[in-house]
Structure 1
Amino acid sequence: MKKHQWGMALVRAFVCFGMIAGLVGCMGDDDDNDSPATPGLPSSDGGSGKNLQISDSLKNGTSVATSIGGGEFTSEGYHITADGGYIIYDTQIKGNFRIEFDTKGLTAGEWYHDPDDQATLLFMQDAPLGTDWTQWQVIDHCLFQMIKMAYYPGGESSVDGMKVKGGCGGVSGFELWSWMEHGDNGVFVGPAYLDWDSTKTYHWVITVKNGHTEGYRDGQLLFSGDGFWPGDSMRFMFGGTGMFVGGVSPDNAIYSNIKIYQE
């Protein structure tokens, strides 16, 4: 009898243990589903890393960048301290891709650095480094540039606005201005003048898919354009390019959490 009672006790223990384990397992499954995609943004691999090609937090004093300069590493990211500072990644990424990155320290009423009133947030191209993009619309390569407009004499109407341009080989492309009512082959749908809070971290997402490009800041769609369809390996530049054209970085910019996906 005692053996029977002891056996039943063991059975009850195993049953209870199984129920508890099942409950914990279910709770774990629920947790896995508590991270939906950001509303309004195109779907990605959900952070699984399946298509992740570049991942660079810039917060631990190191970088996987091909070239980096004009700044210093901090616990918050890479702080660009020179107007020509840059972070450059040479990649084999082409076609459809997605870029995510964070910025902090961006200021309102940014002053221009002669001769350029355009502070480059992101620049990407499939041309050799050093290519003169002055006549970018007729060069037989692909270019994208996202710009934070600075203050300059006579150009007060654009301060705190944005300018975006992208295209390939002069065949097609877009050039958009947030403070103007028109653009070429695209539209700037965000506000004419953006808020720039130096204490706030902004999350940027740029998607390129089948020649269509979209840009988001903190989940808000800012612009949309057609004609940028890079077929060759891309070079991604955050901040300035180190070149005369597009070489000026935003004042006091801190970049972090750079991720580039091949899609």
Structure 2
Amino acid sequence: MKRLAPLNLSQLYLNNLFVNYCKISFYMNKITLSLEQVDKLIRENRYKVEPANKFISRCIDGRYKNEDNLPALAFPGADVGEIAMVLAASKTFGFDVDFKKLITTFTEVVGGVKNIRFHTDHHATPGVPAAGCGHFKQMKGDPSAYGVTSEETELIQQELKQLKNNGAVEIILEGEHMEEAVLMISGNWGINPQYSLETENGVRFVEVFVYHQTLVDERHKALCSALVKNMAITFKNGEDEEWLYNALFETSEIHLMETAKRLAKGLPIYEVEFNDNGDYKIR
């Protein structure tokens, strides 16, 4: 039997020291974007929303590459987050949901199963849907904070497998999180999340979290109308479509803030309001 080489404790110590140094350096070198820097990012990364694709989504995650077909509608967890949000709202506000009808109705609203989007990442266990989505991981780890149950998150994950088999798209995001700000967008323009920022020390690669309020609201209105029409939900006290929209609006805000305080803690939040011609204001 081949003898193992003796353990070099000095080398092991140096290796651990180097790893810890890299971790500390990474966090110390992260930049918090100023308003001026965000303005430069938006000016170069803005793009007009394509009406035909406005209900196709992505997560708020900043690791999406800047691509021509990148969905402008950014929502926590993408379509995984949307499905979970409806389930959470049903318990908080007191209405019943037929899960299968919810899935078929949502599929109808986005224009077919091929337009359903969710993501994982290269760190996650292969073959487990949405395992690399930070929003969904937080929800699975602390379901009560999001108003769902562990059984519901498992139900969603099982449904994702079927949806993926039928043509839904799961994106695999690469790299580490480099988000340096949160952008809350309104208007009919989108923003690519990655940018090469010029600094005194050279060019730095940065990312931003993105949430698109206008497109989220538009899709929620369409979803509420379709849920009522398809009898996917049952009201208990004579509520209506507008009431349902307000319930989804409030639940979405809760989910966004819950994930933001966990994954975007300490980052500045900028509101970006676009005019139709692409001009914008930052607050």
Q: TM-score, normalised by structure 1?
A: 0.27
The structure having more radius of gyration, on CA atoms, is 1
Q: Say which structure is richer in helix.
A: 2
Q: What TM-score results when the alignment is normalised by the length of structure 2?
A: 0.26
Larger strand fraction of residues: 1
